[in-house]
Amino acid sequence: MKKFLDEFLYYLTVERGLAENTLVSYRTDLTAYLAFLHKRKIKCLGQADRNTVMTYIYTLQLNGRSSATVSRHLASLRSFYKFLVSEDMIIQDPTTDLESPKQPQKLPRVLTAEEVDLLLRQPGTREPADLRDKAMFELLYATGIRVSELVSLNLDQVHIDNGFIRCFGKGEKERIVPMGDIAARCLREYLARGRHKLIRENNPSFFVNQHGRRLTRQGFWKITKKYARQAGITKKVTPHIIRHSFATHLLENGADIRSVQAMLGHADISTTQIYTHLTRNKLKDIYDRTHPRA
């Protein structure tokens, strides 16, 4: 069974080109499933039937796993079994027609426009690292890109004069995202007065740390925490919450959902539709406060 798992992970790496974090999730989920089969003395994957998979899913729920985690495990199993059937390693797929557990829809946390403005005003403009931080925050809010996309930007992906960046999202899918004049101005300032003082060697990374190497996601998380604390914002502030705020503020100000979907890099529009709940709630609040007969 371990051999089959290794072949599946090789397929995901080489043929589908999945990101390392995604591969880690698959490996973790499927290793747990194989351990479950071993414990039940099931020696080959072809012996596991629909009832076996359902028992595994039920065991995850009994162990207190969230609906989202259980759904992810089931998705991993579906992909695994689909691969095994396609490669003639087993005959039947026991995950066929199995339903994922219902997940309560969580509205993303967002910052108000005033809170975002306060956060973006925290970095100074004197030190090279301050210029870098200001440029990163302005670009993050201007484009709504993921933190992994932000820190992986190279010099040739940032087209300041033309007002856009090229980034690579999940599955290495490339997309073009526009940015505003304020973000462009901060990027120019960083390049003119900051980056060359931080860089130590020939490095294509757009944003670099104090050692001249590419800034990491963990590094940017720490920077975000520092400025949120400095701004006195009591809400939890993360790079992803800035992304949520970007999407919500666009929709609140009249952007169409398809455009926001394209900018966020969502493959499925249902992922983007979560933000429309927030804008509907705000509209209802405005109506209740302003209509004479609300």
What per-residue confidence (pLDDT) applies to 34? 93
Beta bridge partners of 158: 165
Domain edges within the chain: 2-86, 113-288
What per-residue confidence (pLDDT) applies to 106? 64
- Express each pLDDT in 155-209 by its tens digit: 999 999 999 999 988 777 888 999 999 999 999 999 999 999 999 888 999 999 9
What per-residue confidence (pLDDT) applies to 101? 67
What per-residue confidence (pLDDT) applies to 83? 92
What per-residue confidence (pLDDT) applies to 294? 47
> pTM of the predicted model, to two decimals?
0.61
How many angstroms separate the Cα of 20 from the Cα of each of 6, 25, 27, 71, 257?
Answer: 15, 9, 10, 20, 30
What per-residue confidence (pLDDT) applies to 205? 96
Return the H-helix or E-strand segment holding 216. Answer: none
With 0-12 / 13-18 / 19 or more C-beta atoms within 10 angstroms meaning exposed / middle / buried, residue 166 is middle
How many angstroms separate the Cα of 168 from the Cα of each of 20, 165, 195, 264?
Answer: 14, 10, 22, 11
How many angstroms separate the Cα of 97 from the Cα of each of 50, 75, 82?
Answer: 10, 12, 13
Residue 270 CA, chain-centre distance (Å), reads 15
Residue segments in the chain with a per-residue pLDDT below the cut of 50: 294
User: Quick one: CATH architecture of 113-288?
Assistant: Orthogonal Bundle (1.10)
Range 2-86 classified under CATH 3.40.50.300 = no
What per-residue confidence (pLDDT) applies to 208? 95
Return the H-helix or E-strand segment holding 268. Answer: none
Q: Which residues are catalytic?
A: 146, 170, 240, 243, 266, 275
